[in-house]
Each structure stands twice: as structure tokens, then as C-alpha cells.
């Protein structure tokens, strides 16, 4: 159960490695905060928690929990909000189904996820589950725009201790391929509403019949409203062509998407790739595959599970595989391919990792190879294409001398594509899709064919204006080169530029900013940081997501160490702790070897900001002392290289929390601003120092052994605490 009182700071309960780390770190944070009279509460936004909250009538009284995500969604619209948000699962359908099955196995009488709902009960269950999958959390909590950057201490440490980079060569065959026509970019139309309006989205079929796809979509005045579609025919032709080109080039075939965030469109595109890869299999056995419940959108892993007793189908799959180019592998040791599960390959993690590795991907032979990086839509593919071109020409980035790319991202109030889920549709029949306003005006329309993917997205006036002001403030604070990544030839971006230019002119700062297409901005930013200088990327929502993985992975080796501050539009603060793309592998390693490599550095950075924000908002000087001491502790953590190590048996996440607590306590004992806190923490710091040998021995006593967490998506809190807090002496000192 979660806390029901209104705490000073809310710490989110999430999933996988970040949540396991919380079992170790959060008791330390609570103990230190309690000494300053500060309360730390939790709210459950985990995938399992959201599932349980959605079906109260199916559960016993003891099993029911409140809808914490909805409650947080209201809190972030108030000035009192102070939320530390850890990365949560944005679930694909296979992940959602796995979580449901786990909960059912634990005694939760939840309904199954209905693939093809027929009854009213099944349709209701499907609607509830669909509201949980994908990026269900971030659009609710992000009632502000994003300010992401490497903390100064983190950047300094990365330059002093540069990570290994793969070697780029000019004749690398690695490339990015994207559609040249028929995609979302080429079909996009956009308009800014001069007055508040609502719209119906209607499909007019060739026979004159009409189907209302969505009714009553409302927009305030000044909203930028987009509409576009991807041609299924063009997509299939593109994918089939790229498979053949990849084979001729002798490279790996890889698909890079974000089915977790684009939870309607990208699984469909992913399914097209599975179907294209196994085209002869679907042509020969289509009816049987349908009867077996195969959905290409769920990936090859699900398909192989459903046909494992069908010898002739499996033989045909094997024949086709041998005829195809080798595929980029998620886990070559376990045979997990790029097309196994839609959530396994996430573009903002997979592409930076490949680029950092010199353009190499892992093949089924367990070796690295050049790769065809297939990114169907051309809206953002040029960013990765230009990055690869730059490194082919100039060699890999040198982390020891590279400058930094900070980011100001437009994301508030479900801005742009990441808010498009309720208005994205796989078109059932040929016809024309129209967005019809309440006064009868046809705002946008497209002629479409059955199977096309049509979507509408929007960005509201207030978030856009707030975003531009945030960029002005950050540029003024740093003096860095500042670039708006906007393409005047893209319909949506042209509407944003019409907002940006007048605001910059009115503020008298137009000469401090540049506006470039994403491709040109990529090259300009890489040129800037290669010279050791710094720049600010001012971007929309998707590029915010992509760039705050791309550049940190190149600069720091990971995006989990980024400082991510969301200045909520109503005055509150949301402090995010980094990316969670590597979380599943960390959990697997913990269960198998009792070693958790997850690094909580992002949480340390967010925690200091949260305490200082609390001090500012509530006039609590002790909170500022705590926050400043967090920064001292973080610097000590980095200077002494206390990050988790790679190999089981070495220091891991739990050891790193001990060191952080020790440095934090010492910083508080040494400070002169608050004598009461100094007196309280002096014996804590002394005990943590003197008992180092006992504590580290207890932390590592059972390393190398398998552990039982009581679940994956829904762990047992008692078992998890036993694993993550194994030092009795540390627990006693912390209290």
C-alpha cells in the first residue's frame, strides 16, 4: 500500500532495476530527511500497480490499491508538487500480458488481456488495459517542459575518466534507411487554431458511408493541430526492399522504433516488419497462423511460441531465415532477435549504443557487424543518419575533450506525437479521413487505404510559450550556443516557428538563437562539442527523448546520469532520474547472481534538486542544507569511483548506496549552516566510517547466488528488502 498523507516529497514506486534500487536507497533518504523534519512519501505508478488499480471490482479488499497515477496527475497541476520520478515501464502488449499472468499467479483474479474482444466485458477489459500500456505515465505527470543536462560533477568526471568508444572507419557500411514517400513526414498537414474548437475524426468510405473514429476532441485557442498518415502499401514495399538491399550489402538488418511510447502506431509498423521478414511463411500458412492467434504486432517471439508444435511452419520459418540477411540481435546467446518483441529494441537506446560502438551491431553469430538501421518514418531518422555520416568523416567523439549538449524539450500537456495515442487509427477501409471542427470546417483530410496508419497530434499554446521562455532562461544562464531544432519544410515545425520567432523578437533575444532542421542541427551540435564547446538543443517532444539519450551516451556512456528537471507550469517541480532502458538486463543479473549493476547517480542528482526546491517553496532552510550536502556526496561518490562494477562479486548498487550515505552524512556533519543537523549526523558519519569493513562484508556475503524476489513485475516487498538491505549494521546505523 502507498502513503495516503501529503508528504513533502513524493518518490515514485516503479519497476525493474530502479525499483529494486529504491528498496536499498529510499530507507536512507527517509532517515536523513526525517532528521530535518521532512517527510518522503511514495506513490505506485508501476505497471503492476496500475493494473491492480484498474480492476478493483475483481479483487479482494486487501488486494485493492488506489489509483496513484491519477492522484499524481492532479498533484502536478498544483504549486505544491515535488515529485522524484524514477523511470517506469512503458509496456508493450507482451509485457502487459506477462505482468497480468504474474499477478494472476499471485492470486489476483484479473481478467485476461483480450486480443480480439467480443463481449462487452472483454471490450471493457481491453479498454482498461489499453489505457495502461505504452506511455501511460509520462503524459499524465509531465505538466511542464523539460530541462535536461549533465550535472557539472558528472560531466567533469566523464571527461577525467573517459569511457571506451568504438572505432569509426570511413568505409563503414552502417547506414540509416528511411522511407522517401508515403510516411508520416511527407503526409503531414498542420494548422494553428485561432479560437477554441472541438473536432470529430471521420472516415468517409468510398461507398458514402461514414464512421466516426473519434468524437469531441477539444482544443483551446492557439493549439497547433497536426494530421498525417503512413501508407501501409508504401511501408511494406520499403521494408521488403530494405531486406533485399541488406542482404546484397552483407550487413545486419535492424529495425529501430519506440513501440512503448508510440503504443498504437509503432506496434503496427513493427508488425509490418515481422510480416515482411516472414512474407513466404504468411503467404503459405496465413489461415493457420490466424487460427493459432498469431499477431505479427506482438513479434516473432510470440509467433514462435504459438507455432512450436507445427513442424511444417517451423521448417518454413527456418528456410526463410536462412534466405534472409543476418538480423541484429538483442541477445545472440539466447537467440533473441531484433523482431522478437516490440519493446526490446527502443530507438533512443539502440541507436546511440550502436553509434557509440562504431556502428556495429551484434549478429546471430555472436560477432559485431555493420548494420542497416531501418527507421521507417523520415521525421527524425536524419538525426541518426547525420550522426553516422559525421563520425564516418571525423572518427568517434572523444569523451575526454567533448563539450556537452543540453536540452530544453517541449512536452507539457501531451505535446506532439507522444500525445497522439487516442487519435491514432489503423484504417479499416479505403476512403477519406477528415478532421471536422464543430463549426463544420474541415481542418485536415487525407485519402487513405485500408491498413494505413492515420494519426493526429497537437501542441497547445501555453506549453509552447513556456518552452520558448525556458529556452531563453537557460541560454541566459549559460551563454551557450542555442539551436531550435525545427524544419521549416515540415508542416508542424513551420507552425512552431511562427510562435518562436515573434517571442524571441519581443524579448529582444533573437540574435542569441538559431533555427535549423534536425539534420543541420545535428551536424552543428556535433561540430560544437567536438571543439569542446557547449550547446543547447531546443526541441519538440520526440527529439527531447531521442537526444537526451544520444548525446549523454556519447558523452557519459549512459543517459541514466542526466539531471532532468521538469518545471511544472503551475509552479511545482518534477525531478526525473534518468532512463531505464537497461533495467531488464540488470534484474536478470540480480536474480541469477545477486549482483545489481544499476547506477543510482541520476537519483542522487534529482534528489539534491528536489530538496533545494522544497527549501525555496516552503522556506525550509534545513532542506537546502540536505540538498547541498547531496551534491557534496555525489561529488565524493564520483571522485572515489564508487559506481557499481560490472562483474558479480564486485561492488554493486547496494555498495554504492553505502558510500553515498557515508559521504552525505559526513557532508552534513561538516557543514556550518545548521548546527542541529551537524550534531545529529556526526555520529552517523563516524559509525559509517568506522564500520566500513563490517558493512561491506555483510553487503557482499551472498553474492554470486541466485535470489528470490517473489516476482518480476510485482515483487514481494519482504523478500526484496532482504535482498537489497542485507547489511544489519548499515540498517541499524541508518535506523
Ranges 133-142, 188-197, 555-564, most confident: 188-197
Supply 331's cell numbers: 541477445
Q: How far apart are CA 269 and CA 247, in angstroms?
A: 21
Q: What is the DSSP letter of 57?
A: G
664 close to 633: Cβ distance less than 8 angstroms? yes
408 close to 421: Cβ distance less than 8 angstroms? no
pLDDT exceeds 70 at position 532: yes
pLDDT score of 447? 98
Average pLDDT on 331-355 reads 89
The overall average pLDDT reported for the chain is: 94
Strands (E), 274-416: 329-331, 336-337, 360-362, 368-374, 405-409
pLDDT score of 3? 47
Average pLDDT on 495-515 reads 98
pLDDT score of 582? 54
Average pLDDT on 560-571 reads 85
Q: How far apart are CA 677 and CA 671, in angstroms?
A: 9
383 close to 544: Cβ distance less than 8 angstroms? no
pLDDT exceeds 80 at position 35: yes
| Helices and strands (H and E) in the chain: how many | 27, 24
Strands (E), 375-430: 405-409, 424-426
pLDDT exceeds 90 at position 564: no
Q: How far apart are CA 168 and CA 389, in angstroms?
A: 10
Tell me the pLDDT band of 352, cut-offs 50, 70 and 90: very high
Average pLDDT on 634-661 reads 93
pLDDT score of 310? 93
Residue whose cell numbers read 497536426:
226
pLDDT exceeds 70 at position 581: no
Instruction: Spell out the residues 6+ positions from residue 163 whose beta carbon is closer than 8 angstroms to its own.
Output: 399, 556, 557
Average pLDDT on 339-360 reads 92
pLDDT score of 560? 74
81-106 as b/e: b if 16+ CB within 10 A:
bbbbbbbbbbbbbbbbbbbbebbeee
pLDDT score of 88? 87
Burial category of 38 from C-beta neighbours within 10 Å (exposed 0-12, middle 13-18, buried 19 and up): buried
Lowest mean pLDDT, pick from 28-32, 185-189, 418-422: 418-422
pLDDT exceeds 50 at position 638: yes
Query: At CA 383, angle to CA 380 and CA 385, rounded to 5?
Result: 110
Residue whose cell numbers read 506513490:
43
Average pLDDT on 668-695 reads 97
pLDDT exceeds 80 at position 109: yes
Lowest mean pLDDT, pick from 5-9, 379-383, 526-530: 5-9
pLDDT tens-digit map of 442-496: 999 999 999 999 999 999 999 999 999 999 999 999 999 999 999 999 999 999 9
Domain chopping of the chain, boundaries: 9-143+570-734
What is the percent of the chain with per-residue pLDDT over 70, rounded to a whole number? 99
Total-model pTM: 0.85
Q: How far apart are CA 731 and CA 728, in angstroms?
A: 5
pLDDT exceeds 80 at position 282: yes
Instruction: Spell out the residues 6+ positions from residue 219 whose beta carbon is closer than 8 angstroms to its own.
Output: 193, 196, 197, 198, 199, 225, 458, 460
In order of 288, 304, 355, 543, the CA distances from 307 in angstroms are: 9, 5, 36, 39
pLDDT exceeds 90 at position 58: yes
Q: How far apart are CA 388 and CA 374, in angstroms?
A: 13
| Nearest CA among 40, 64, 48, 41 for reference residue 15 | 48
Ranges 127-136, 154-163, 217-226, most confident: 217-226
pLDDT tens-digit map of 64-101: 999 999 999 999 999 989 999 998 888 888 889 999 99
Amino acid at each position: 500500500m502507498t502513503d495516503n498523507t501529503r508528504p513533502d516529497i513524493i518518490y515514485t514506486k516503479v519497476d525493474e532495476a530502479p525499483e529494486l534500487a529504491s528498496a536499498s536507497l529510499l530507507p536512507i533518504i527517509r532517515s536523513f530527511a526525517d532528521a530535518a523534519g521532512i517527510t518522503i512519501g511514495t506513490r505506485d505508478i508501476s505497471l503492476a500497480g496500475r493494473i491492480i488499480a484498474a480492476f478493483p471490482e475483481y479483487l479482494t479488499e486487501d488486494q485493492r490499491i488506489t489509483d496513484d497515477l491519477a492522484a499524481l496527475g492532479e498533484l502536478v497541476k498544483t504549486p505544491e508538487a515535488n515529485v522524484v520520478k524514477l523511470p517506469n515501464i512503458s509496456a508493450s502488449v507482451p509485457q502487459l500480458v506477462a505482468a497480468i499472468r504474474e499477478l494472476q499467479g499471485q492470486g489476483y483474479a484479473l481478467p485476461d488481456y483480450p486480443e480480439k474482444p467480443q463481449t462487452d466485458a472483454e471490450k471493457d477489459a481491453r479498454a482498461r488495459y489499453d489505457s495502461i500500456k505504452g506511455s501511460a505515465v509520462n503524459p499524465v505527470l509531465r505538466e511542464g517542459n523539460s530541462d535536461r543536462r549533465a550535472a557539472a560533477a558528472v560531466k567533469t568526471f566523464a571527461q577525467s575518466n573517459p569511457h571506451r568508444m568504438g572505432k569509426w572507419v570511413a568505409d563503414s557500411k552502417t547506414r540509416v534507411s528511411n522511407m522517401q514517400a508515403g510516411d508520416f513526414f511527407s503526409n503531414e498537414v498542420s494548422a494553428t487554431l485561432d479560437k477554441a474548437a472541438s473536432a470529430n475524426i471521420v472516415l468517409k468510405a468510398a461507398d458514402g458511408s461514414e464512421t466516426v473514429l473519434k468524437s469531441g476532441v477539444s482544443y483551446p485557442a492557439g493549439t497547433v493541430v497536426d494530421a498525417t498518415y503512413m501508407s501501409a502499401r508504401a511501408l511494406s514495399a520499403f521494408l521488403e526492399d530494405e531486406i533485399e538491399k541488406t542482404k546484397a550489402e552483407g550487413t545486419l538488418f535492424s529495425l529501430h522504433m519506440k513501440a512503448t511510447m508510440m503504443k498504437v502506431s509503432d506496434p503496427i509498423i513493427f508488425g509490418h516488419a515481422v510480416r515482411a521478414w516472414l512474407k513466404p511463411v504468411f503467404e503459405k500458412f496465413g489461415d493457420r497462423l490466424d487460427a493459432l492467434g498469431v499477431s505479427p504486432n506482438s513479434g516473432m517471439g510470440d509467433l514462435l511460441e504459438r507455432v512450436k508444435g507445427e513442424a511444417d511452419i517451423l521448417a518454413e520459418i527456418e528456410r526463410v531465415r536462412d534466405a534472409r540477411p543476418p538480423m541484429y540481435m538483442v541477445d545472440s546467446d539466447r537467440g533473441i532477435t531484433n523482431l522478437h518483441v516490440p519493446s526490446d529494441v527502443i530507438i533512443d537506446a539502440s541507436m546511440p549504443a550502436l553509434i557509440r560502438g562504431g556502428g556495429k551491431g551484434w549478429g546471430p553469430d555472436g560477432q559485431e557487424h555493420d548494420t542497416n538501421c531501418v527507421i521507417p518514418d523520415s521525421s527524425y531518422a536524419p538525426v541518426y543518419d547525420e550522426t553516422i555520416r559525421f563520425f564516418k568523416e571525423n572518427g568517434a567523439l572523444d569523451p575526454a575533450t567533448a563539450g556537452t549538449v543540453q536540452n530544453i524539450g517541449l512536452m507539457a500537456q501531451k505535446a506532439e506525437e507522444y500525445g497522439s495515442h487516442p487519435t491514432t487509427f489503423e484504417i479499416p477501409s479505403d476512403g477519406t479521413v477528415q478532421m471536422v471542427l464543430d463549426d463544420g470546417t474541415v481542418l485536415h483530410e487525407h485519402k487513405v487505404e485500408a491498413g494505413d496508419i492515420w494519426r493526429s497530434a497537437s501542441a497547445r499554446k501555453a506549453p509552447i510559450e513556456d518552452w520558448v521562455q525556458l529556452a531563453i532562461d537557460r541560454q541566459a544562464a549559460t551563454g551557450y550556443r542555442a539551436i531550435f531544432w525545427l524544419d521549416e519544410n515540415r508542416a508542424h515545425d513551420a507552425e512552431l516557428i511562427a510562435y518562436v520567432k515573434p517571442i524571441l523578437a519581443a524579448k529582444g533575444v533573437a540574435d542569441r538563437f538559431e533555427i535549423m532542421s534536425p539534420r543541420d542541427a545535428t551536424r552543428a551540435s556535433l561540430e560544437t562539442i567536438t571543439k569542446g564547446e557547449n550547446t543547447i538543443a531546443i526541441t519538440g517532444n520526440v527529439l527531447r527523448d531521442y537526444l537526451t539519450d544520444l548525446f549523454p551516451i556519447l558523452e557519459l556512456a549512459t543517459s541514466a546520469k542526466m539531471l532532468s528537471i521538469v518545471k511544472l507550469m503551475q509552479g511545482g517541480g518534477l525531478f526525473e532520474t534518468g532512463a531505464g532502458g537497461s533495467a531488464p538486463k540488470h534484474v536478470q543479473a540480480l536474480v541469477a547472481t545477486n549482483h545489481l549493476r544499476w547506477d543510482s547517480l541520476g537519483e542522487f542528482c534529482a534528489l539534491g534538486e528536489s530538496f533545494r526546491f522544497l527549501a525555496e517553496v516552503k522556506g525550509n532552510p534545513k532542506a537546502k542544507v540536505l540538498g547541498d550536502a547531496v551534491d557534496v556526496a555525489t561529488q565524493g561518490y564520483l571522485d572515489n569511483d564508487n559506481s557499481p562494477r560490472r562483474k558479480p562479486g564486485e561492488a554493486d548498487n547496494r555498495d554504492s548506496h553505502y558510500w553515498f550515505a557515508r559521504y552525505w552524512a559526513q557532508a552534513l556533519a561538516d557543514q556550518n549552516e545548521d548546527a542541529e543537523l551537524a550534531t545529529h549526523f556526526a555520529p552517523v558519519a563516524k559509525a559509517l566510517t568506522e564500520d566500513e569493513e563490517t558493512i561491506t562484508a555483510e553487503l557482499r556475503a551472498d553474492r554470486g547466488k541466485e535470489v528470490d524476489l517473489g516476482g518480476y513485475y510485482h515483487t514481494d516487498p519482504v523478500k526484496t528488502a532482504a535482498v537489497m538491505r542485507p547489511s544489519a549494521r548499515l540498517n541499524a546505523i541508518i535506523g
